[in-house]
Amino acid sequence: MRKGGKFIVLEGTDGSGKTEQFKLLVKRLKREGILAKTFDFPQYSKESSFFVKQYLNGAYGGWKDVGPYKASIFYAMDRFDISPEIKRWLSEGRFIISNRYVASNMGHQGGKIVNKKRRLEYFKWLYQIEYKILEIPIPSKTIILHVPPRVSIELVRKKGPREYEGGIKKDIHDQDLKHLRQAEKSYLDMAKMFPRDFHLIECAPKGKLLPILQIHKMIWNYVYENFVRR
């Protein structure tokens, strides 16, 4: 990768508003004269997400039937499909912003593994699959937007059912509120276990979600200081 190539990923617990923050960050970079290449995972409009859509819509049963390892492979192959394009942009020294990436697997699939030791084993397995075997690009940094479960659950309920291509039904993860709590633990675990890879931003430090623009400012300040100004 040529000097100057940067790959920033925005992740977050449910209800954190990561998609809105993703859009705001891209717009801010543009105002600063940086035309970022963007990616949004899963790629629901592409054939590479076929198994992801089948899984989310319950075609293989509930998430307990599928399990974290098989489900992770569905998502990994979707990222693998676009990885040559990501590598090309990085080799040209470009700035890349992605809405979700490998850490989404770590958070949501890792949340299904209650035992911390086994969850760490899963994290290591996933790193091996994605970054060593499939050789997808490793982000420069993944920013995790953290919202506590008690706030997250209320925000998710207000959003209503999610729809994917074809107007199909609600995400099987959102049907289990316990999963939101476990996913939050998994996101916090990965931030502690791999501090070089992740940066955690508290979006509801006092139990109430901060204003959108305030969260954006926190994200921008971090990105600017660590990847734009340098």
16 is in an annotated binding site: yes
Residue from 165, 223, 166, 228 nearest 199 by CA: 223
The Cα–Cα gap between 161 and 17 comes to: 16
Does the annotation place 15 within a ligand binding site?
A: yes
Instruction: Tell whether residue 142 is among the known ligand binding residues.
Output: no
**Residue 166 annotated as lining a ligand binding site:** no
Q: Is 12 annotated as a binding residue?
A: yes
Is 38 annotated in some ligand binding site?
Answer: no
Binding residues: 12-19
Binding residues for ATP: 12-19
